[in-house]
Structure 1
Amino acid sequence: MALDDIPIWLPLLLFLPLLLLMKKKMDDQSQNKCLPPSPPKLPIIGNLHQLGELPHQSLCQLSKQYGPVMLLKLGGIPTAIISSAEAAREALKVHDLDCCSRPTFASSRRILSNYGAIAFAPYGDYWKEMRKSSVLELFSVKRVQSNQFIREEEVNLLVNSICHSSSSTTPIDLSKKLFAFTANVSSRMAFGNFCGSDLDIERFREVVHEIEAMLGSFNPFEYFPFMGWIMDKFSRRFQRFEIIFLELDNFFQQVIDLHLNPDRKKQEHEGIIDMLLRKEREQIKSGDARFTKQNIKAVLMVLFVGTIDSVTTTMIWVMAELAKNPRVMKKGQDEIRNFIGNKGKVTESNTDHLLYLKMIVKETLRLHPPATLLLPREVMSHFKINGYDIYPKTLLQVNAWAIGRDPKYWKNLEEFIPERFIDNSIDYKGQHFELLPFGAGRRTYPGMYVATTAIELALANLLYCFNWKLPYGMKEEDINMEEVVGPSNATNKKTALNLVPIKVF
């Protein structure tokens, strides 16, 4: 019998006496601690029942009652929830080194960690070496700029695709178009000219999407670490994840082998895999061969797992907010069209001058951060936040969604007002804790620059080339802005975005 077929209450019942004993011991130990306030807990499951379908919203409501630093018990895992900029600054800046590891209790993340995926790796020598030797170079400004031609070519293809599949009255599924654009950019950056070879790129994208979906799915057994060995042995979910990850691993190996082929035609631009293979050869030559093929796969994992879904999600939210706020859309279009004139397209060098477009993106990231709850950190050393004790092995999660809606920092917080960033220095790069869509500190998302560069270029061309209308009979207030937690924990728009494009340039 597979674990998935066993009722969830049965294994929990078997461990009830042990859990009660552990609870009594922890209660005794906590009497002399100044712990953050906690909502009432249920036996065994703790506060799991209070998360709801949209945990970021549920936790935001709880923080209004229990404060910006709360301690929840999610199954057997103590979890500190941070919901204010001041508390986030203490955690991610002042005490960054004390809580910059990653938890390994989740089965899917444990697999990724074992295979070397740096985003999920615990803090240590491996993580520091990988970040220094490859990730920072991979996402450097110079490296991102060298791939400018890829993004511009794919934007042109996106515009042409919209032109060919639309009419003046027929809506298109813009969500689907934007996903294809982001997937194409990421694939070409990683694989170069092999996107047109015998590689099954479509299957590759399906595998990445399935891994993201499994990472984002809820698995209650992961909140009971003492049951991990049962889950690893019997869980169909765990076994499926292992199979699908091995398929992705084999795909990466196939691409690496193609790049190592001596008969391969020399490329004009050094691709990501070429750069990583060069780094491996340099280390072997110097006698310090710590960088292996497995590390190359880990870096590729950083590029793909989460990136495609997060970038696409952000662009969809931007276009949804603009469709709902035609004044803002027109103002953005006027800025772009007045600056570009009749040139026919927007290039990356143009986007630096489109200040209102940048405000639109910032306002979208405030209201719709791609990761509403930043990836959990694991506390390594004791420290205090707002006077409360935070102990090792506690998980720490920052509610970026709640911070972006905190009335202490934002006026008219539910309204889409890009003008709030005029003469406002707040940015999303991890230095201003009122806006944390990409995190801060050592665990800041390294692909932030490449992500926002692609987002701004694609949006600028969509607003320049087309006027966007709602489907016939639909009004702005009819646009469904409901959220759903999707693949890679990105908070997606629940329904597809369908708009009517009218070609202008």
Structure 2
Amino acid sequence: MRIEAFKSYATLSLIWLFSLIILRAFLSRWRTRVCLPPSPLALPILGHLHLLAPIPHQALHKLSLQYGPLISIRLGSVPCVVASSAETAKEFLKTHDNSFSDRPLSKAVSYLTYGSADFSFAPYSSYWRYMKKLCMTQLLGGRTLEQNLPLRRQEIIRLMKTLFEKSLKGEAVNIGAELQKLTNNVICRMAMSRTCSGNDLEAEEVKKIVEETAELTGKFNLADYIGFCRNLDLQGFDKRLKDLHQRFDNMMEGILKEKEERKGKDTAEETKKDLLDIMLDIAGDSNAEIKLTRENIKAFILNIFTAGTDTPALTVEWALAELINHPTILQKARDEINRIIGINRLVRESDIPNLPYLQAIVNETLRLHPPVSIVTRESTADCNINGYDIPARTRLFVNLWAIGRDPKHWSEPLEFKPERFTKNDKEVNVRGQHFHLLPFGSDRRMCPGTSLALQVMQPMLAAIIQCFDWKIDSGHGKVDMNEGQGLTLPRAQPLICRPVARVSQMPTA
């Protein structure tokens, strides 16, 4: 038996070795015809998947330090290139943006968005261009954001009252969870005139759907990368995806039917349209450029939920963690607020242009902790970048996290220094024109909710700075700044600290 086992083992080893030799010979001949960017040694079947653990953007940054700012990797059967510098990012996202206008679809995203009927992952097409125009002019345009200013103000006041009550009781607070409630409520009220942080079943269901969508779309799925696993469910995702999709669809159908039944009955209510109302009006317009389907509407709302809740909450959580670790910077920000606003009223959105140091803190937080660490695209045509051939259907990863820490563009890149945005880099902004700072991406597919995110983050952080000091219970007095895993850039450990009110009565005027 031992001899037979040894023979079997030897045969398998020889087959594996022979396959590896053939594969390397094939790749070597192919590379002589196609000049790909430099690449680490790949494993059979897995390619370079083993090199991405434990946190992909950090692992890719280390590879770029060894192989250069543009490298090629293979994730299972998926060919990819990684851009890790401002210059290479500009080549892909500006010079050759026509060739990289699509976003790759994962199995989870495709299923949850009704087969990419959404906006974020829809192929670049007449439908996508129409939705982009709608976002810029109606759904997330200046007029809509201005109309929703009161609800953003109400949610910040609600958060301040919650923190003030915790302060009076001397209780610790999970800051990320409280910030998530605020952003969930803002998005829910904007999208469908509902709050999502109450105790009723619908509010709890919305919260769970958002959390599970972020989890499942951010998890690594073998079916997306290993060819022979494409129709298998080795990790048990399919059942969870089906359940999540059904729950979301049932919830949205109930809300849509309710709105359709009420449409036209209450004229006063119709003057205050939420995003669902606007989209239903467009879907019913026979003269509309593109006919929106029910799936388009539901998938877009899912985009708004998942993209609009994490980004502001995570950024403010990281910003507060940095400020607790840098009390001098915190005090400087507070002095600016005290000088411009005082302590008798709560900071407003209209005050933000007069608070340049606060804006610098947000920019510096977005540089070090971009809410999405890697932007993904997929090439639609063969192209040549920096002398290298990039075949069609190659996946592009732009490592925003690495770009924000590049010493070529940032002095002391690992240091939290908001002053850099009030001096040498004061003209640099986060809206995609400056390729060494791309927290919301760039090109035609950059985040359409950038203005909304800033209008939530900046006054939210300003109010927190204005109203509270913060105490942490760790023995060394510092907040742990390690990163966690996920589609966005979460903290490894939640930020839990005790708010200490700076005033005896909460200013809400």
What is the deviation of 1:169?
4.7
CA, structure 1 residues 194+330, in 2 after alignment: closer, same or farther (shift >3 Å)? closer
CA distance in structure 1 between the aligned counterparts of 2:209 and 2:346, rounded to whole angstroms? 33
Partner deviation per Cα, 1:162-203 (whole Å, 9 max, x = no partner): 111223754322122111111111111112157689771111
Task: Give ranges in structure 2 of 5+ residues lacking alignment.
Answer: 1-12, 504-509
Which residue does the alignment assign to 2:10? none
Any idea what SS the aligned residue of 2:354 has?
A: coil
CA distance in structure 2 between the aligned counterparts of 1:274 and 1:406, rounded to whole angstroms? 44
**1:383 matched to 2:371:** no
Selected match of 1:496 from 494, 500, 503: 494
Q: Which moved more, 1:428-437 or 1:24-33?
A: 24-33
Which residue does the alignment assign to 1:108? 108
Task: Output the amino acid matched with 1:121.
Answer: A
Any idea what SS the aligned residue of 1:500 has?
A: strand
What is the deviation of 1:480?
0.9
Task: Output the amino acid matched with 2:390.
Answer: I
CA distance in structure 1 between the aligned counterparts of 2:336 and 2:231, rounded to whole angstroms? 58
Selected match of 2:460 from 446, 455, 458: 458
CA distance in structure 2 between the aligned counterparts of 1:331 and 1:198, rounded to whole angstroms? 42
Which residue does the alignment assign to 2:230? 228
Which residue does the alignment assign to 1:470? 472
**1:259 matched to 2:259:** yes
Answer yes or no: is the 8 Å Cα contact 2:127–2:290 preserved in 1.
Answer: no
Any idea what SS the aligned residue of 1:323 has?
A: helix
CA distance in structure 2 between the aligned counterparts of 1:26 and 1:134, rounded to whole angstroms? 44
Any idea what SS the aligned residue of 1:167 has?
A: helix
CA distance in structure 2 between the aligned counterparts of 1:299 and 1:272, rounded to whole angstroms? 10
Which residue does the alignment assign to 2:319? 318
Selected match of 1:275 from 252, 274, 278: 278
What is the deviation of 1:372?
0.9
CA distance in structure 2 between the aligned counterparts of 1:83 and 1:396, rounded to whole angstroms? 11
Structure 2 counterparts to residues 143-162 of structure 1, below 5 A: 143-162=144-163
What is the deviation of 1:22?
7.3
CA, structure 1 residues 396+208, in 2 after alignment: closer, same or farther (shift >3 Å)? same
Task: Output the amino acid matched with 1:94.
Answer: T
Task: Output the amino acid matched with 2:491.
Answer: K
CA distance in structure 1 between the aligned counterparts of 2:228 and 2:266, rounded to whole angstroms? 50
CA, structure 1 residues 220+23, in 2 after alignment: closer, same or farther (shift >3 Å)? farther
Answer yes or no: is the 8 Å Cα contact 1:113–1:121 preserved in 2.
Answer: no
Q: Aligned residues: percent identity?
A: 34
Which residue does the alignment assign to 1:398? 398
Answer yes or no: is the 8 Å Cα contact 1:113–1:120 preserved in 2.
Answer: no
CA, structure 1 residues 197+270, in 2 after alignment: closer, same or farther (shift >3 Å)? farther
TM-score (norm 1): 0.90
CA distance in structure 2 between the aligned counterparts of 1:154 and 1:410, rounded to whole angstroms? 36
Task: Output the amino acid matched with 1:496.
Answer: P
CA distance in structure 1 between the aligned counterparts of 2:412 and 2:348, rounded to whole angstroms? 34
Structure 2 counterparts to residues 67-216 of structure 1, below 5 A: 67-104=68-105, 106-111=106-111, 112=113, 114=115, 116-134=117-135, 137-167=138-168, 169-193=170-194, 200-216=202-218
CA distance in structure 2 between the aligned counterparts of 1:287 and 1:121, rounded to whole angstroms? 19
Answer yes or no: is the 8 Å Cα contact 2:185–2:194 preserved in 1.
Answer: no
CA distance in structure 2 between the aligned counterparts of 1:171 and 1:194, rounded to whole angstroms? 24
What is the deviation of 1:115?
5.0
What is the deviation of 1:129?
2.5
Answer yes or no: is the 8 Å Cα contact 2:114–2:299 preserved in 1.
Answer: no
Which residue does the alignment assign to 1:331? 332
What is the deviation of 1:109?
2.0
CA distance in structure 2 between the aligned counterparts of 1:323 and 1:287, rounded to whole angstroms? 51
Structure 2 counterparts to residues 300-311 of structure 1, below 5 A: 300-311=301-312
Partner deviation per Cα, 1:385-426 (whole Å, 9 max, x = no partner): 222111101100100010011110011111100001124222
Task: Output the amino acid matched with 1:200.
Answer: E
Answer yes or no: is the 8 Å Cα contact 2:430–2:437 preserved in 1.
Answer: yes
Structure 2 counterparts to residues 400-439 of structure 1, below 5 A: 400-423=400-423, 424=425, 425-439=427-441
Which residue does the alignment assign to 1:237? 237
User: Over aligned residue pairs, what C-alpha RMSD do you find?
Assistant: 2.4
Task: Give ranges in structure 1 of 5+ residues lacking alignment.
Answer: 1-12
Q: Which moved more, 1:219-228 or 1:343-352?
A: 219-228
CA distance in structure 2 between the aligned counterparts of 1:346 and 1:449, rounded to whole angstroms? 18
Partner deviation per Cα, 1:324-375 (whole Å, 9 max, x = no partner): 000010011111121112432011111121110000000000100011111x
Answer yes or no: is the 8 Å Cα contact 1:429–1:438 preserved in 2.
Answer: yes
What is the deviation of 1:299?
1.9
What is the deviation of 1:461?
0.7
Answer yes or no: is the 8 Å Cα contact 2:343–2:466 preserved in 1.
Answer: no
What is the deviation of 1:289?
6.3
Any idea what SS the aligned residue of 1:81 has?
A: strand
Report the structure number with the largest CA radius of gyration. 2
What is the deviation of 1:151?
0.5
CA, structure 1 residues 168+200, in 2 after alignment: closer, same or farther (shift >3 Å)? closer
TM-score (norm 2): 0.89
How many aligned positions are there?
482
What is the deviation of 1:220?
2.5
CA, structure 1 residues 18+251, in 2 after alignment: closer, same or farther (shift >3 Å)? farther
Any idea what SS the aligned residue of 2:397 has?
A: strand
CA distance in structure 2 between the aligned counterparts of 1:462 and 1:475, rounded to whole angstroms? 23
Task: Output the amino acid matched with 1:445.
Answer: C
Task: Output the amino acid matched with 2:178.
Answer: K
CA distance in structure 1 between the aligned counterparts of 2:169 and 2:412, rounded to whole angstroms? 35
Q: Which moved more, 1:234-243 or 1:390-399?
A: 234-243
What is the deviation of 1:278?
1.6
What is the deviation of 1:292?
2.2
CA, structure 1 residues 353+93, in 2 after alignment: closer, same or farther (shift >3 Å)? same
What is the deviation of 1:500?
2.2
Which residue does the alignment assign to 1:4? none
Any idea what SS the aligned residue of 1:270 has?
A: coil
Any idea what SS the aligned residue of 1:485 has?
A: coil
CA distance in structure 2 between the aligned counterparts of 1:81 and 1:113, rounded to whole angstroms? 29
What is the deviation of 1:306?
2.9
Partner deviation per Cα, 1:447-498 (whole Å, 9 max, x = no partner): 1110111000111111111122333x6444x321110123xx1111111112
CA distance in structure 2 between the aligned counterparts of 1:136 and 1:238, rounded to whole angstroms? 37
CA distance in structure 1 between the aligned counterparts of 2:207 and 2:471, rounded to whole angstroms? 30
Which residue does the alignment assign to 1:440? 442
Answer yes or no: is the 8 Å Cα contact 2:223–2:231 preserved in 1.
Answer: no
What is the deviation of 1:381?
1.3
Answer yes or no: is the 8 Å Cα contact 1:192–1:271 preserved in 2.
Answer: yes
Answer yes or no: is the 8 Å Cα contact 2:78–2:394 preserved in 1.
Answer: yes
Any idea what SS the aligned residue of 1:266 has?
A: helix
